[in-house]
C-alpha cells in the first residue's frame, strides 16, 4: 500500500505578487495556518476577511445550458460502488464532479461502503482512489477479506494478483485536523493539475472517512472562524470535484435533534454543501443495510432501498 505524499516544496509552491495571485488552495492553507498558530480571537469581520479571497478565486465562468450538458455527458460519469442497491438508487453510482455524503449512526455501515467502493473502483480500472483516513478506519485486511469473498472462483495465485492490483490503486493518508486536510487538498490539487501531462493514471475517487471528525472540533465557541473553515473546506472539495471530474465521498455522523430525533451533524451551514446526501441504517443482527436519499441534484428525496454489505 503506497501512501500519497507529493513533495511539499512543489505541492505548496505559489506566487503572491499582485499580478499573479496565489492559488485558491494556497490561500486556504495560509488561512488555516494562521488560525492554527493561535490567532483564534479574530472578530467575525476579520475572520471573513481571511476567507473572502478564497471564495473570490472559486468563482466559475458563466456557462450556458448546452455547455453544461456537453460537460456532463462527456466528463461526469458514474462510478459504481459495487453495491447494486446503492448504484440502482443513484442511477449508476457516485457521480464524478459531485460531492456525495453518507450520514449514519455508529455501525450503520458508512466505513464499509467507503472501503467496498474503493476496492470496486480500483478493481474495475476506473482509476486511482484517494482515501483520507481521519479516525483510523482504513483497513487493508477488510479490503483483502472483501476481495477474497468476491474471488471465490479464482485460484490462489489469481486472487493474489487481483488483490495486489486493487491495493496498488488505493492511496491512503491519515489526517486528524482541518489544517492537515487543507494542506493535503492543496497537494492533491497539484497532482490533479499535472496528472494529465504526466500520463499518470487518473485520480477518480476521493474518500474522506469521516469529514465530521475533522470539522466538529472547530465549530465550538461564539466566533465564526470555525464555520468559515468548514464551509471553505466544502467549497474546496466541490471545486476539486467539478474542475477535475473527481467523485468525492465523505461520511458524517448523527447527533440528537429536536425531540431526541437523530439528524446529521455539522448543522445547516454544511447541509447545503453536498450535492447528494444519503442516510444509512443497519438492521441489527443481519448484514442488511437500508439507504435513503435525503438530498439529490435530480432525484426525489425519500427514495429508499436495501442492500447486503460484504465482509
Model confidence pLDDT, tens digit, residues 71-113:
666 666 899 999 999 999 999 999 999 999 999 999 999 999 9
Calculated CA dihedral for residues 115, 121, 127, 130, nearest 10 degrees? -10
Determine phi and psi for 21, rounding to 5 degrees.
Answer: -65, 155
Of 156, 162, 133, the residue nearest 3 (C-alpha) = 133
Please name the CATH architecture into which domain 22-308 falls. Answer: 3-Layer(aba) Sandwich (3.40)
Model confidence pLDDT, tens digit, residues 173-221:
999 999 999 999 988 888 888 765 445 678 899 999 999 999 999 997 7
Which pLDDT does position 58 carry in this prediction? Answer: 55
The whole-angstrom separation of Cα 128 and Cα 205 is 7
- 155-175 average pLDDT score: 91
Which pLDDT does position 13 carry in this prediction? Answer: 30
212 contacts 170 by C-beta, under 8 angstroms: no
Q: Which residue has the higher pLDDT, 184 or 64?
A: 184
In the beta sheet, which residues pair with residue 266?
A: none
Of 191, 226, 252, 189, the residue nearest 26 (C-alpha) = 189
CA quadruple 235, 236, 239, 245: dihedral sign:
negative
Most confident of 47-56, 198-207, 251-260: 251-260
List Cβ neighbours of 194 (8 Å cut-off, separation of 6 or more). none
CB burial string 201-211: b at 16+ within 10 A, e below: eebbbbbbbbb
Q: How confident is the model at residue 59 (pLDDT cuts 50, 70, 90)?
A: low
Of 292, 295, 296, 289, the residue nearest 304 (C-alpha) = 292
The whole-angstrom separation of Cα 10 and Cα 146 is 37
Most confident of 37-46, 97-106, 146-155: 97-106
Amino acid at each position: 500500500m503506497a501512501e500519497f505524499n507529493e513533495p511539499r516544496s512543489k505541492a505548496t509552491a505559489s506566487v503572491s505578487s499582485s499580478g499573479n495571485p496565489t492559488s485558491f488552495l494556497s490561500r486556504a492553507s495560509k488561512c488555516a495556518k494562521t488560525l492554527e498558530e493561535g490567532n483564534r480571537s479574530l472578530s467575525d469581520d476579520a475572520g471573513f476577511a481571511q476567507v473572502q479571497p478564497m471564495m473570490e478565486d472559486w468563482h466559475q465562468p458563466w456557462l450556458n445550458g448546452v455547455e453544461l450538458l456537453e460537460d456532463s455527458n462527456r466528463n461526469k460519469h458514474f462510478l459504481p460502488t459495487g453495491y447494486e442497491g446503492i448504484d440502482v438508487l443513484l442511477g449508476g453510482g457516485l457521480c464524478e464532479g459531485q460531492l456525495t455524503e453518507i450520514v449514519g449512526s455508529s455501525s450503520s455501515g458508512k466505513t464499509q461502503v467507503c472501503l467496498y467502493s474503493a476496492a470496486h473502483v480500483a478493481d474495475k480500472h476506473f482509476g486511482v482512489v484517494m482515501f483520507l483516513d481521519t479516525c483510523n478506519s482504513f483497513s487493508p485486511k477488510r479490503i483483502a477479506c472483501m476481495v477474497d469473498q468476491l474471488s471465490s472462483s479464482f485460484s490462489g495465485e489469481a486472487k493474489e494478483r487481483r488483490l495486489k492490483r486493487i491495493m496498488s490503486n488505493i492511496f491512503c493518508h491519515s489526517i486528524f485536523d482541518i489544517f492537515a486536510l487543507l494542506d493535503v487538498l492543496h497537494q492533491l490539487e497539484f497532482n490533479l493539475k499535472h496528472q494529465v501531462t504526466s500520463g499518470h493514471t487518473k485520480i477518480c475517487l476521493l474518500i474522506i472517512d469521516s469529514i465530521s471528525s475533522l470539522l466538529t472540533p472547530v465549530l465550538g465557541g461564539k466566533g465564526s472562524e470555525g464555520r468559515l473553515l468548514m464551509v471553505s473546506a466544502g467549497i474546496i472539495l466541490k471545486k476539486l470535484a467539478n474542475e477535475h471530474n473527481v467523485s468525492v465521498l465523505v461520511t458524517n455522523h448523527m447527533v440528537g435533534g429536536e425531540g431526541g430525533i437523530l439528524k446529521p451533524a455539522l448543522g445547516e451551514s454544511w447541509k447545503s454543501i453536498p450535492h447528494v446526501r444519503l442516510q444509512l441504517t443497519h438492521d441489527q443482527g443481519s448484514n442488511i443495510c437500508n439507504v435513503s436519499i435525503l438530498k439529490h441534484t435530480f432525484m426525489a428525496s425519500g427514495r429508499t432501498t436495501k442492500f447486503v454489505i460484504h465482509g
